[in-house]
A and B are shown apart, each in its own frame.
Chain A
């Protein structure tokens, strides 16, 4: 066991800065939009995703750095950069990214879209009919809803709730000392950003801000409008719930939602056509330094173009659909309880459908022998069939306990609503654990059988959300293993406060033992390698930030352990540096589905230890969240997981390699390339076909369903 603290000094030689690494990740998302081999609407989708990611980055990460920088806090990050240095680097990188983004949109995507029949009208080129229709719409719908707010220099500006677009109108004033006055027109959340306009062919639309700008004089009948500029302000969202004992946790969260509106502004984006006068006015009004003002050469908030990527009738411009298929491991004619009593089931989503997980909970809700169901819910919706099944189970007298995490970023409002609904139905709802975000994904069903109590457990790497389960690559593991069942029950006893945490049989949970278990497993490999034995670590996580884990991996590399990592997002580890990390290889895959599964495989002297986890290797996950690390020991699930990991490392089509200098290089050599996501899809399809063939060769008598 090694307890060595991070002995290395902060330095950019050792670590990449996490914010810059994140920006590189977002660049890789943007690269998909720039990739001409991609279907046009997919490119638009990735452009929108990159924009949306960047918004979240500013809301969550940049605000904190600005606060530290303003208070002149010098504390450097592991890469040795002060908050101020980080901000400088971020701004420069973001400006470059925005320039790439708008060049992509203006020079490539928009012309190509126009060509394909998807046209954005700015206003001037409208024909008479179109003009009449949008004018009517403005008069009937928008004029009464929108209300300009006059703002005078030195007065407080209105706090706009979310980063929504707003128009700033500069009007000529008749007073001598102030030649202009300003009005803001918040466009709000209720009006659609994209307005469809009649078109002879294809799809034509206008952006809301362009429509309003076109008729803006209607608000100021007797005044002269000098300029009308759309802008957007982003606020800091990094508010942690206070650690004071809340009288009512729910009320606390509602309070946070309120507080978010009042936190400081981190960024001002506005149309680049704005005059310096107007830009200065807005920057002053929102107390934003010029360094945080971003003039944009095109529409603001490109993330809102996402609906266009999904419009019907342009199938040729999108990827051919890959359906989620039913896993060959799951027999639709048998209950999952019966199947899990025989074997464990591993599902690889979204290639394999998430339905069996939903079905397990639905079966549990109906089964008269089920005594209780416990489950974590992180991001889900009230329309979710899982939530519906849990309510049904509660009304039929089962003990249903749900750990609802209210701190799921930006989802609080939605979470509170369905959590209250669950409570009304008799579900015992626990609103998380004080000070820790519950990020683990686990469900345990306790069932009374003739041989005694049996537990059925689902462990996942993704949330219990059928929608994201179709878009995220995740792993589900279902089992009735005795130890894992007992561990799952202990886990719930610990987080519901029924018991103090006790040592688990097989799993580990953060913030208690997960990280030390990881470090121990790494140490075993180091030990093996130092004795000249074969040793390797293959891992897949979304982010690697934790300096202790990184240092352990460096030590592993130095001892001769082969380390291969597939890390979609942030990676602060610097791979491939002689004497530091020459045995570490890091790749990242950005493809159709969001890579989300966390899997790690240790050679462990040949007996292969494989784990799935809800945790990324970041301090926030390992030290400040409730997460799980679950061993998958049962064959054939273990072999399947190993094969899944290996498949990711074979990718040359969508994988990029992290270089020692922090750049990412394509692995595509122009020759025959291998695309892991496509392989998974084809592989699952083939397995399902085989299964169907086998079923065709045996006649199955239908049994009475009752």
Chain B
């Protein structure tokens, strides 16, 4: 008699192990894209206080996290949310920058069975972007003007520079409320000097940033983060689902007011927990200095949080939206241009690789997420030529693995770099360190993608982008690739022989490339 939640409704939970607190959001989502929040929980745990003072997370703090996560687990059982596919636990800078990240992650795994994903900076930017996307209709201008999206966190401030809805670049700056706060303790400065110290430090941190280059260009500022949401909450009318525009003067006045109060007064006045009260002043200063640095006369605030982005990805089951995919591809092209790649060739090979990937999907068995990795590898496989022609595939590898492609994790970046590394010359060998460090599933994926990339390269062996269509078919123990509208494929056939045996080694099939004349001519 129980009504199982219909196929279309999925309950998911995202847990964020942040710098000052552990937050959980439970939501349900439908494939049409709507996410309905069910519960939001927050418990203060000052992980960042450990990381930014002693460099590691203390045992007591780890156990505190375990305790909180166990109560969250209990809450999830209430919702019958026990499938790990529906729960995502991520950690941000305080865990990432601690010396004992692994010990932390392992302890959580032992205590709860949850694998904590420690988000890389680029992934964090992707999740922030996804979170903002959830609320984008609240600020129509987001799709047009030039924007800086900034989130002042406990440890770092993350920036996305966006124009016409496209991410131009993303960075992280070591400016965070907790870092600022611990600075005050380190300097042991008298309280009267705190505001001045906070301001000057925030200014310094920002000036070292590439974002300073944005100065002068008219840019709008979208601020994320709890403190700005809190201020927006105080300023807007009843409807919680709106964007709020805070004038620079309002922000300055509020910041001054908060800096003029001690922590106890903040708790009493605003009914906020003590740890939040401690972060409030420094976070506001960071935001204010940011607005000043960008010459922004106002700050826009959305209700978006990191959890929104995480929930979005959970609901989409990690199938990224076309929009996000094109953001990432755009950032790869930017990287390619930086290294003066042959853009026409690279994008064409990427297109062919994508066609091959899709036509061979039952054959290679890789899911959709790998398509993007293959495309990115195809785009960037030759950037090593910028360094030198000899062994340029190896140059490509380290350039890619050290690039800041938008939204990708370290692991994904390594996969792309490896695929590029094996687009020519030898097949992967256990002696190749980068390769042998990969997990087995990843090694297999790299080999498969590299094999497909090599076929795509052969298909543009002429480098004049003349082949646009192919048809793949497995026939009599060989892969027959038919190219319509072309009868002379000798150059491509030669290239196909030069790519070596990687494809056959991997898939166990030789390739036959066959031209096909246009039907109309056959008459």
A498 CB–B CB distance under 8 Å: yes
A449 CB–B CB distance under 8 Å: yes
Chain B residues near A490 (CB-CB < 8 A): 39-40
**Given known contacts A453-B11, A502-B42, A497 and B71 CB-to-CB distance under 8 angstroms:** yes
Establish whether residues B77 and A399, one from each chain, have CB atoms under 8 Å apart when the complex forms.
Answer: yes
Give the residue name and chain of the B residue nearest to A451 (CB). Answer: B9
Chain A residues near B6 (CB-CB < 8 A): 450
Q: Which of B34-91 contact A (CB under 8 A)?
A: 36-44, 71-72, 75, 77-80
Give the residue name and chain of the B residue nearest to A492 (CB). Answer: B39
Q: Complex: how many Å from CA A371 to CA B80?
A: 8
Q: Complex: how many Å from CA A388 to CA B475?
A: 71
Chain B residues near A372 (CB-CB < 8 A): 78
Give the residue name and chain of the B residue nearest to A372 (CB). Answer: B78
Q: Complex: how many Å from CA A513 to CA B9?
A: 35
Establish whether residues B273 and A371, one from each chain, have CB atoms under 8 Å apart when the complex forms.
Answer: no
Q: Complex: how many Å from CA A368 to CA B80?
A: 13
Establish whether residues A499 and B2, one from each chain, have CB atoms under 8 Å apart when the complex forms.
Answer: no
Chain B min CB distance to A506 (Å): 9
Interface string of A473-510 (1 = CB under 8 A from B): 00000000000001001100100011111110100000
Q: Complex: how many Å from CA A489 to CA B5?
A: 20
Total A residues in contact with B, Cβ cutoff 8 Å: 26
Chain A residues near B80 (CB-CB < 8 A): 371, 448
Chain B residues near A446 (CB-CB < 8 A): 78-79
Chain A min CB distance to B422 (Å): 46
Establish whether residues B36 and A452, one from each chain, have CB atoms under 8 Å apart when the complex forms.
Answer: yes
A369 CB–B CB distance under 8 Å: yes
Give the residue name and chain of the B residue nearest to A3 (CB). Answer: B269
Establish whether residues A399 and B78, one from each chain, have CB atoms under 8 Å apart when the complex forms.
Answer: yes
Chain A residues near B28 (CB-CB < 8 A): 452-453
**Given known contacts A371-B79, A502-B40, A448 and B5 CB-to-CB distance under 8 angstroms:** yes
B508 CB–A CB distance under 8 Å: no
Chain A residues near B271 (CB-CB < 8 A): 501, 512-513
**Given known contacts A453-B28, A493-B41, A369 and B78 CB-to-CB distance under 8 angstroms:** no
**Given known contacts A368-B1, A493-B39, A501-B273, A452 and B78 CB-to-CB distance under 8 angstroms:** no
B437 CB–A CB distance under 8 Å: no
B233 CB–A CB distance under 8 Å: yes
Chain A min CB distance to B239 (Å): 10
Q: Complex: how many Å from CA A372 to CA B80?
A: 10
Chain A min CB distance to B45 (Å): 11
**Given known contacts A371-B80, A446-B78, A499 and B1 CB-to-CB distance under 8 angstroms:** no
Interface string of A389-409 (1 = CB under 8 A from B): 000000000010000000000
**Given known contacts A371-B78, A446-B78, A500 and B42 CB-to-CB distance under 8 angstroms:** yes
B3 CB–A CB distance under 8 Å: yes
B240 CB–A CB distance under 8 Å: yes
Interface string of B460-497 (1 = CB under 8 A from A): 00000000000000000000000000000000000000
Interface string of B401-435 (1 = CB under 8 A from A): 00000000000000000000000000000000000
**Given known contacts A450-B3, A450-B6, A452-B28, A503 and B11 CB-to-CB distance under 8 angstroms:** no
Q: Complex: how many Å from CA A51 to CA B6?
A: 60
Give the residue name and chain of the B residue nearest to A494 (CB). Answer: B41
Chain B residues near A501 (CB-CB < 8 A): 271, 273
Give the residue name and chain of the A residue nearest to B230 (CB). Answer: A503
Q: Which of B11, B36, B75 contacts A498 (CB 8 A)?
A: B75
Q: Complex: how many Å from CA A500 to CA B79?
A: 20
Q: Complex: how many Å from CA A80 to CA B160?
A: 62
Chain B residues near A368 (CB-CB < 8 A): 1-2
Give the residue name and chain of the B residue nearest to A368 (CB). Answer: B2
Q: Complex: how many Å from CA A452 to CA B273?
A: 32
Q: Complex: how many Å from CA A500 to CA B271?
A: 11
**Given known contacts A371-B78, A448-B5, A500-B43, A453 and B38 CB-to-CB distance under 8 angstroms:** yes
Chain B min CB distance to A617 (Å): 19
**Given known contacts A448-B3, A453-B28, A513-B271, A499 and B42 CB-to-CB distance under 8 angstroms:** yes
Establish whether residues B240 and A505, one from each chain, have CB atoms under 8 Å apart when the complex forms.
Answer: yes
Interface string of A319-339 (1 = CB under 8 A from B): 000000000000000000000
Interface string of B270-291 (1 = CB under 8 A from A): 0101000000000000000000
Q: Complex: how many Å from CA A452 to CA B11?
A: 8
Q: Complex: how many Å from CA A498 to CA B9?
A: 25
Q: Which of A253-299 contact B (CB under 8 A)?
A: none
**Given known contacts A498-B75, A501-B273, A512-B271, A452 and B9 CB-to-CB distance under 8 angstroms:** yes
Establish whether residues B39 and A489, one from each chain, have CB atoms under 8 Å apart when the complex forms.
Answer: yes
Give the residue name and chain of the A residue nearest to B80 (CB). Answer: A371
- Most chain B beta-carbon neighbours within 10 Å: one of A450, A453, A489, A490: A453
Q: Complex: how many Å from CA A630 to CA B5?
A: 30
Give the residue name and chain of the B residue nearest to A428 (CB). Answer: B74
Give the residue name and chain of the B residue nearest to A449 (CB). Answer: B3
Q: Complex: how many Å from CA A371 to CA B41?
A: 18
**Given known contacts A368-B2, A369-B3, A450-B5, A499 and B78 CB-to-CB distance under 8 angstroms:** no
Chain B residues near A489 (CB-CB < 8 A): 38-39
Interface string of B233-248 (1 = CB under 8 A from A): 1000000100000000
Chain A residues near B11 (CB-CB < 8 A): 452-453
Give the residue name and chain of the A residue nearest to B9 (CB). Answer: A452
Chain B min CB distance to A194 (Å): 51
Chain B residues near A503 (CB-CB < 8 A): 233
Chain A residues near B39 (CB-CB < 8 A): 486, 489-490, 493
Chain B residues near A502 (CB-CB < 8 A): 40, 42
Chain A min CB distance to B72 (Å): 8
Q: Complex: how many Å from CA A372 to CA B81?
A: 13
Q: Complex: how many Å from CA A451 to CA B34?
A: 12
Chain B min CB distance to A5 (Å): 12
Q: Complex: how many Å from CA A500 to CA B274?
A: 10
Chain A residues near B71 (CB-CB < 8 A): 497-498
Chain B min CB distance to A593 (Å): 36
Chain A residues near B2 (CB-CB < 8 A): 368-369
Chain A residues near B43 (CB-CB < 8 A): 499-500
Q: Which of B225-262 contact A (CB under 8 A)?
A: 233, 240
Chain A min CB distance to B26 (Å): 9
Q: Complex: how many Å from CA A372 to CA B26?
A: 15
Chain A min CB distance to B279 (Å): 13
Chain A min CB distance to B66 (Å): 15
Q: Which of A424-462 contact B (CB under 8 A)?
A: 446, 448-453
Chain B min CB distance to A451 (Å): 7
Establish whether residues A500 and B44, one from each chain, have CB atoms under 8 Å apart when the complex forms.
Answer: yes
Chain B min CB distance to A569 (Å): 29
Q: Which of A369, A371, A499, A513 contacts B40 (CB 8 A)?
A: A499
Chain B min CB distance to A427 (Å): 13
Establish whether residues B36 and A499, one from each chain, have CB atoms under 8 Å apart when the complex forms.
Answer: no
Chain B min CB distance to A527 (Å): 15
Chain B residues near A500 (CB-CB < 8 A): 42-44, 273
Chain A min CB distance to B38 (Å): 5
Chain B residues near A449 (CB-CB < 8 A): 3
Q: Complex: how many Å from CA A368 to CA B2?
A: 6
Q: Which of A360-380 contact B (CB under 8 A)?
A: 368-369, 371-372
Q: Complex: how many Å from CA A500 to CA B22?
A: 11
| Residues of B participating in the A interface, judged by any CB pair closer than 8 Å | 1-3, 5-6, 9, 11, 28, 36-44, 71-72, 75, 77-80, 233, 240, 271, 273
- The list of the 5 closest CB pairs from A to B, nearest first, reads A499-B41, A399-B78, A512-B271, A368-B2, A452-B28
| Residues of A participating in the B interface, judged by any CB pair closer than 8 Å | 368-369, 371-372, 399, 446, 448-453, 486, 489-490, 493, 497-503, 505, 512-513
Name 21 A/B residue pairs within 8 A (Cβ), A-sorted. Answer: A368-B2, A371-B79, A372-B78, A446-B79, A448-B5, A450-B9, A451-B9, A452-B5, A452-B9, A452-B11, A453-B38, A486-B37, A489-B38, A489-B39, A493-B75, A498-B41, A498-B72, A499-B40, A499-B41, A499-B42, A502-B40
Further contacts, 10 of them, CB under 8 A, given A450-B5, A498-B71, A500-B43:
A372-B78, A446-B78, A448-B80, A452-B5, A486-B37, A489-B39, A498-B75, A502-B40, A502-B42, A513-B271
